[in-house]
Structure 1
């Protein structure tokens, strides 16, 4: 009887203890020469393949490893280097590769943006008048390496041409089809060389198929893959999709490829229903993604065996592959390193290595019968039940609050026009008030003092006095600069989510649970594993101290419920929106506490609302409505005189301006300096009648802006926004900037605000 095979789609690059990150940064710092760097990276890459082989994966992904980003890898494979980087022809050098990712003295780095709706960022290819050529067959190189050094007959992974061009920039929409076709001969060449080498399986990732593609794009896919099939008919191509369900199920499954990879975790049940309605072609392999590649909870083996049993009714064993739902790039490497975690929680976790084991166990169950995995099945059931029955997930106060969520009023007492007048009388601010987004530079000294405190080398009292001194210093600086609304600077905070997660019930942090965000930048998302509640006030002490030092208003600073949700690994036993509302209720208590302690401006930041949008447009309304509800649940209990602020990072706000308005915040600040004109166009098309600050200078650059630049940005905004509603602020928080450049830039910002105020007074006199 033919056997079902196991497969993986991609493995985390960073290593169990972030070895990859350390090697990368040593090379950038000049502490490693190129040969040593390449040798160390090869060791890490081969170790990852070896681990998958030892665990029993049949189809091991090759070429998913990267020095920075897989989309950038694809671009340089085709010689797509922007002119500013001085590239001529031939294979792209390591130096040029990193210049594209990080920039150099003479050329700005390529743009970076989110990979679909994940928290991973990719380098955006630039196709301006590009003439793509295959300058290096990366999949072939890494296939040979795995074969020769580990005797692994791997499965090369390639980002598909339709998705690659769709994610690129520098071309008109009308040019899309022709651009894709220009890449097809290059992909054909890759496959032909792999075929000559004897490669059996190739995974071509086309996640764009899980978005709202058009019928014309579907026909383009058919044309592309027909040409690729004709070029290399002996290579078994799996067209791999993930992150949502595919539309045009019958049509996609009939594409001229050997296999279709489908996500059975984040598809909302659509794929199983489609199988029941349409069946599956007899001449194709179905690669079923049944282990969650994006979350960190142990697989319910019993449920997934049941799902696979249903799937197997439509495909024979020799045409079924068991795999994760997506690349494991999005989860940490292994649970084994988390020795300090509570056993109940630890046993319920599954990182990359554990997920690979789950894939192998599920495959074994299908091939050898469920009795062959009785021990693993029992462990799975026990671990999941233990967490679900634990006190962590059975906080009756929180659960009663969610059941009776309707009793909470999520509307402000008065309309904005009434609140605006009351707040104007309360604060007495000038027209075009100046402020910052919240954080000030976290110097090496600040980080060292925090580390000493965490290690017990500083007492709580000593650390608190140090933080107070930093707050006082920056209150004095803000007063001297002439800012109108001040902040305490957030010197006690490591990260805008981690800080709150450490102080809320239901959150846990790992020691080595790192994932790649971009380049060598790794983040350690909190685990929301239980019912969320407020233990004690989180921000009152520092904010009240700062307010005691000045007669000007000081903003209380919180991170909003949707951002905390989107930047965490979230429990999967209840709905995400129930979790968001639990967080919102905890924040509501903190907002009330700040107000009772005399803080009358409170900023609840939601930079991640836009990036959490579902891939399918038909799911946007529900998501946005729930996001608005959670924000208002957290913020609307205050008096009309209390001013609620929020901040968002820029990302195509044209589609969600209505949502921004519905948040009913008194003031919103938006990161916009890099796309100032584009965002202002959105406000030309939609009237916005609440307080708003469009960031007037880019905080991601160390340069100090000139007054003329800021005046242009302010004047452009005032063409469409009411001066009585307009605030002047930087793009984002100033945590990563140096002290001198921060002070110099804010001085310029205040000068620009004062100049514009005087001009408005003259014009209106």
Structure 2
């Protein structure tokens, strides 16, 4: 009998209960015990959603991030947090203080400031994890309480212990993701890490756990001999610990690691059969006869309904060969998709309702159940469900309004001149400096300012109809005018309008573009309490009318200083959306690029001389295998250039990137040829600057001078120190001064003092360099 399980389930709750519980605790409006009570309720709710599975994942619930959970379970807490791991009980206030200080620089509103740990993207997803910090003196001490507490709750609700499947991040992936400021390899710590994992597995065995899921997504990468050896060593040491190990890989194929993964001494192997369908048969051929193959057959990263007939074509031959050794699962954790389609009571789509071809986390588990019954009991047992799937997909394939001939004609008419600026950067720089009259070390922000309760209330009332369009626009203009006035009072050089009218940097544009659909409740966790509601690209993309010009023109009318027009770039819109799966990504991206190009040209015609096109998600679209990078980067960079490069030399193009590893693609970032790039730098402790020791970046750059994801307010001295460090590798004439990301999530009382200190530090440096 083919068993079914999940690699993880969304933990934010059906109505983002986790988000609101966290933010109440951080603000001091609830106690530690109230937060932990809510966490217990959330775990119970997650298990209830998975009650029909043969194995239910435990340990996938997190108060902030699963990698941070793993660090605490291994006793790896940054020394500056000043916490003894042996004294931290998972439910205690001391634990929460140390945990949130590591994640965000402070625990609650009245706690002292600590530098937050670095945060970056989880492989090629839009989920952010807290980077483990290691050094030569790092010691590990296993604490299994994160899982044992969950197991105790699990059993108290009537579940048998052998139905629980704890999930851990594997030791090799953990060290691969870790960073050190010392000159040594994290792999030097492998023997000690293995001993800690042994302790965890032993604790699980004592509690009657049968299966443990160990995630090793590094198996999707092209690994050198040292890392391959580390995998071999780790699992030979972790074998025979009294539990069965299910080794899980996802997001891509195993590639050259197929034989390695199949031969490791574990009892089961999970593969992503959505990303690497053809690999399923290869793995089945090579997998030893005593091992389980967990087939990730339902897409855990996108929201389209599965083609169940096609799934069964893949499953049935494998089931005939493997029998009970074949398990079925989503391709990866369902953390990356919304919770439940059933809460969407309104039509999804413009001129059509696409709900019939969508599946969120709960619906994906239902699809898994149908596949399991079809395999175990025969397809006639689920004939009605299979027929409903066929009808929905056939009707969708016949829906012709997804394609627009004029969009496809524009793609056919693209030519090389559309990807180039009129002059090289050195010539553009002269013209822009003459026109904009900016000082040394120009100061600016990334774009967004805090979304206050009044702003959100106005937007909500406008959508509900209790505010008419004229009233709403006047309220937004008042907010914009005030934002401009405050920036001028601080002495910033290039201003922004604050984006009061925008709900989200991708959703806002998608709502005004053809080919996009939107939900009301389909939230996905990005990090901690931060949730996003990705748009759905279901058809050809085009811009019916200008999207931002009215707001930008009004903002510019409020000041003699340049005000940036603010746009989201085509690659980021693509990577932060759920994307149609019936054409290549690069083609969809090119359609978006043409729509953004139209907006750029309209902004320029309206007198906007500085235009920022954010590409925060450029790197996360990289294929996991380095050998495939160049193909992606070529079309991604070209589509940015297609969006940006129709303007005159005097128009200054900015772009922004954040919270990804950029050093290894710095040449491609330079190839984007943006006049100015602003980029995250402070939270990663100036790691970005190392790239400029080896690479002479040709254009202007603003390495972020403080971390906006922490509530801590930077001192002028800390900003001055960072800028001096930047000047060691970047010419002072190229440097801009800015925070490392937008200010939307911060409070007013955090934003203005931080910007005041940023301007103060900049003025002091200008005097020194004068």
**TM-score with structure 1 setting the length:** 0.91
2:75 aligned with 1:79, yes or no?
yes
Match of 1:133 in 2: 141
Match of 1:669 in 2: 678
2:313 aligned with 1:303, yes or no?
no
CA distance in 2, matches of 1:100, 1:110: 12
Residue 707 of structure 1 deviates from its aligned partner by 4.2
2:642 aligned with 1:633, yes or no?
yes
Residue 241 of structure 1 deviates from its aligned partner by 1.1
Give the conservation status (yes or no) of the 8 Å contact 1:91–1:136: no
State the Cα deviation string for residues 248-292 of structure 1 (Å, max 9, x = none).
21122011111111111123x45146348x543222111111111
- SS of corresponding position for 1:231: coil
Give the conservation status (yes or no) of the 8 Å contact 1:676–1:713: no
CA distance in 1, matches of 2:152, 2:766: 67
Change (3 A) 1:724 1:100: same
Residue 178 of structure 1 deviates from its aligned partner by 4.5
2:223 aligned with 1:216, yes or no?
no
2:298 aligned with 1:288, yes or no?
no
2:103 aligned with 1:97, yes or no?
no
- SS of corresponding position for 1:341: coil
State the Cα deviation string for residues 489-539 of structure 1 (Å, max 9, x = none).
222112211211221112222121112222232221122222211121111
> Where do 1:49-64 residues align within 5 Å?
49-53=47-51, 56-64=52-60
Deviates more, 1:136-145 or 1:415-424: 136-145
Residue 242 of structure 1 deviates from its aligned partner by 1.0
Residue 449 of structure 1 deviates from its aligned partner by 2.5
Residue 658 of structure 1 deviates from its aligned partner by 0.8
State the Cα deviation string for residues 135-190 of structure 1 (Å, max 9, x = none).
33544443454344223422222222222233334486755344222233343343
CA distance in 1, matches of 2:668, 2:739: 23
2:584 aligned with 1:575, yes or no?
yes
- SS of corresponding position for 1:122: strand
CA distance in 2, matches of 1:708, 1:139: 43
Give the conservation status (yes or no) of the 8 Å contact 1:555–1:600: yes
Give the conservation status (yes or no) of the 8 Å contact 2:119–2:683: no
CA distance in 2, matches of 1:499, 1:221: 44
CA distance in 2, matches of 1:36, 1:728: 41
- SS of corresponding position for 1:61: strand
2:212 aligned with 1:202, yes or no?
yes
Give the conservation status (yes or no) of the 8 Å contact 2:497–2:555: yes
CA distance in 1, matches of 2:370, 2:730: 60
Q: What is the root-mean-square deviation of aligned Cα atoms in Å?
A: 2.7
- SS of corresponding position for 1:204: strand
Given the alignment, which residue of 13, 16, 19 partners 2:17?
Answer: 19
Change (3 A) 1:191 1:669: closer
2:5 aligned with 1:7, yes or no?
yes
CA distance in 2, matches of 1:293, 1:415: 44
- SS of corresponding position for 1:150: coil
Match of 2:391 in 1: 382
> Where do 1:447-596 residues align within 5 Å?
447-596=456-605
- Aligned residues between the structures: 752
Q: Is there any run of 5+ residues in structure 2 with no aligned partner, and where?
A: none
CA distance in 2, matches of 1:220, 1:413: 51
CA distance in 2, matches of 1:393, 1:251: 43
> Where do 1:239-318 residues align within 5 Å?
239-246=247-254, 247-267=256-276, 269=277, 271-272=279-280, 274-275=282-283, 279-312=286-319, 315-318=321-324
State the Cα deviation string for residues 723-747 of structure 1 (Å, max 9, x = none).
4433333333233444465444444
Deviates more, 1:639-648 or 1:59-68: 59-68
Give the conservation status (yes or no) of the 8 Å contact 2:175–2:187: no
Match of 2:699 in 1: 690
Residue 355 of structure 1 deviates from its aligned partner by 0.6
CA distance in 2, matches of 1:720, 1:125: 27
Change (3 A) 1:198 1:691: closer
Match of 1:606 in 2: 615
CA distance in 2, matches of 1:30, 1:432: 38
Residue 325 of structure 1 deviates from its aligned partner by 0.5
Match of 1:730 in 2: 739
Deviates more, 1:332-341 or 1:96-105: 96-105
CA distance in 1, matches of 2:84, 2:71: 13
Change (3 A) 1:447 1:136: same
Q: Is there any run of 5+ residues in structure 1 with no aligned partner, and where?
A: none
Residue 35 of structure 1 deviates from its aligned partner by 5.1
Change (3 A) 1:97 1:454: farther
2:334 aligned with 1:325, yes or no?
no
CA distance in 2, matches of 1:35, 1:755: 47
Change (3 A) 1:124 1:677: closer
CA distance in 2, matches of 1:639, 1:732: 27
Give the conservation status (yes or no) of the 8 Å contact 2:281–2:318: no
2:246 aligned with 1:238, yes or no?
yes
CA distance in 2, matches of 1:714, 1:57: 54
Give the conservation status (yes or no) of the 8 Å contact 2:444–2:737: yes
CA distance in 1, matches of 2:629, 2:333: 24
CA distance in 2, matches of 1:495, 1:570: 17
Give the conservation status (yes or no) of the 8 Å contact 2:262–2:286: no
Residue 229 of structure 1 deviates from its aligned partner by 2.0
Give the conservation status (yes or no) of the 8 Å contact 1:77–1:91: no
CA distance in 2, matches of 1:35, 1:164: 30
CA distance in 2, matches of 1:367, 1:408: 59
Give the conservation status (yes or no) of the 8 Å contact 1:433–1:484: yes
Give the conservation status (yes or no) of the 8 Å contact 1:442–1:736: yes
2:150 aligned with 1:114, yes or no?
no
> Where do 1:680-759 residues align within 5 Å?
680-702=689-711, 705-739=714-748, 742-759=751-768
Given the alignment, which residue of 130, 150, 156 partners 1:142?
Answer: 150
Residue 760 of structure 1 deviates from its aligned partner by 4.1
Deviates more, 1:628-637 or 1:382-391: 382-391
Deviates more, 1:745-754 or 1:562-571: 745-754
CA distance in 1, matches of 2:749, 2:17: 34
CA distance in 1, matches of 2:33, 2:716: 47
CA distance in 1, matches of 2:504, 2:749: 22
2:138 aligned with 1:159, yes or no?
no
- SS of corresponding position for 1:507: strand
Residue 32 of structure 1 deviates from its aligned partner by 5.1
CA distance in 2, matches of 1:744, 1:196: 53
Deviates more, 1:528-537 or 1:586-595: 528-537
Match of 2:65 in 1: 69
- SS of corresponding position for 2:120: strand
